[in-house]
Every structure is written in structure tokens, then in C-alpha cells.
Amino acid sequence: MNEKNLDEKYIRKNFDREVIEILKTKRLNELFGIEEFDEGLEVKKVKFLKIFIKSIIFIIMFLIITSYIFFIIEYVKYQSYRKNNKEIIAFGELYQRDQKMKEEELQDLKNLSFNNINNLPEDKKNLMFNLVPSGSPLTREIFITSEFGARVHPVSGVKKEHHGLDFRLDIGDEIIAPAIGKVIFAGKQGGYGEVVKIEHAYGFQTVYAHLNKIDVKVGEIVGKGKKIAEGGNTGVSTGPHLHYEVRYNDIPIDPLNFVNWNKQNFDIIFKNERSVPWQYFLTVMGKN
């Protein structure tokens, strides 16, 4: 074998070796490329799963927090409702008991007549004496100088209706309210001079005229026995006196029945003053 043949053989052997190495490398690269592709896909899957799981956790946490806040709000509303409901129920039970008592009292009042009116419960009598004008508007002993009804006017000399009672008094004598009421007028009024008008419950009014001094103002609430003025001689008058009126629905009625009305003769007003619908009034009283 000559030198040339040996070189060719050597070259071929090296070439084969290089080809084999290249093929091996190529195969490995292909295999490596496939593994790299698979690994990239798995990484993407993992990343996607992580993002998905995080999203699910976020949504769940959001729902939990939102539900918790909603629950707290509803719980507070429920507690408030429960508290209010308890008060309403308690008020309802109290109202039912009160209504039952009223019905019993009303039935007692329905059984009343003008013949047994004195059987009215004591507390109802006291209530009536406080709400309806009763007793004298003066703290001094009374002396009537002119009664209710037709008379000849002492100044004009003309016969006309006298809408009240005239009480003799001294200037400065104390004048009091005969029942609880609200002052609706306090000031000068023509021939009446200085005047006070009080509105009482159930349509009653009282008027005080020819006053020297007024101690109340319009809108003031006065109690029974409260000083409202001092007697005088203002307006058209022949001397110091109090002109006193009692009105029912703005119609003058005889004040004497109310001045004489007290616990000792409780039924007198129902017998003598028939212009007031007392039966209805007593029924209304039963509801208070």
C-alpha cells in the first residue's frame, strides 16, 4: 500500500467520523429542540395556571369581603329593626291595654245619665274641673252687679242682651283663670277696655273685660287658678268691675252655672246648662 492510498483511507475515515459526529449532533439538537419546545409549553402552562389560580383566589377573596361587608350592613339593619320592632310591639301591647281600660271607662260613661252623673269617677271630675271653666274668676268674695241676659244698659239706657256677669271689685283685685287654656287675645277692645280672652278645651272660651292690668300674653298657656290680670274700670264702664263671659263654640252662655259648679253640686251644670251637649262631652271625656 503506497502513501497515497494511506492518505485517502485516512481522509475517508476522518470524513466518516465527522459525518457521524454531525449526524449525532444534529440528532441531539433535534431531540434537544423538542425537549426545549416541550419545556417552554410546560412553563407557559404553569404560568397560566398560576395566573388563573391567582385570579380565582382574588375573586373568592373579593366575594368573601363583599359578602362580609354586606352581612355586617344587613346585621346592623336587622338589629336596628329588631330594636324598633320591640318598641312597636311594646307600644302596641300598652295601647291595647290602654284601649281596654278606655272601653271599660267608656261603657261606664255610657251607663251614666243626668240622674246618676255624680257617680262619675273622682279623677274624671277633677279632669273636668281643670278643663272646663268652673268656679269664680276672682279670689275675693263675689258680688254680682249685673246678671246674664236681657237688661237695660247702664250707660246707653238701651235694652239689650248682656252676654256675661258683672262682678263688683276694687281696682287691682286679682283675676284668675277658671280652667286650663290658651290666651288668644290680650289688649284693648272697644267699650270692653282692656280685655283677655282664653280658649279652653272642647270649645269653651272665657272673656274678661274692663281690666286695669294684663299679666299674660297671646299664646301663653295658663293653668287653673293662674293670675291673668287685675280688675279695673277701662272702656265703657260706670265703675270698677269685671265683665266675665263664658262661651261655647263662640256662643255666650250663662256664666253663673259655671261659677257655682263644684264637687258638692257636680250635677248642677248638666241640669241648668242645656245648650252644651254634655252627653257627647262625657263620651269624649271617656276617651281621655
pLDDT in tens, 15-31: 556 555 555 555 544 54
Using an 8 Å Cβ cutoff, are 240 and 196 in contact? Answer: no
> 118-285 — its CATH code?
2.70.70.10
Using an 8 Å Cβ cutoff, are 132 and 179 in contact? Answer: yes
Look at residue 2 in the predicted model and tell me its pLDDT: 54
Mean pLDDT of the chain: 78
Measured CA to CA, the distance from residue 209 to residue 229 in angstroms comes to: 10
Look at residue 155 in the predicted model and tell me its pLDDT: 63
Look at residue 34 in the predicted model and tell me its pLDDT: 46
Give the CA distances from residue 238 to residues 42, 58, 138, 177, 211, in Å, rounded to whole numbers and listed in that order.
122, 99, 19, 24, 13
% of the chain at pLDDT higher than 90: 37
pLDDT in tens, 97-126: 666 665 555 555 455 555 556 677 788 788
* Grid cell locating 44: 407557559
Domain residue spans in the chain? 118-285
Name the one residue in this structure whose C-alpha cell is 312597636: 88
Q: Smallest Cα–Cα separation from 258: which of 272, 245, 269, 271?
A: 269
- Name the pTM for this structure: 0.59
pLDDT score of 197 more than 90: yes
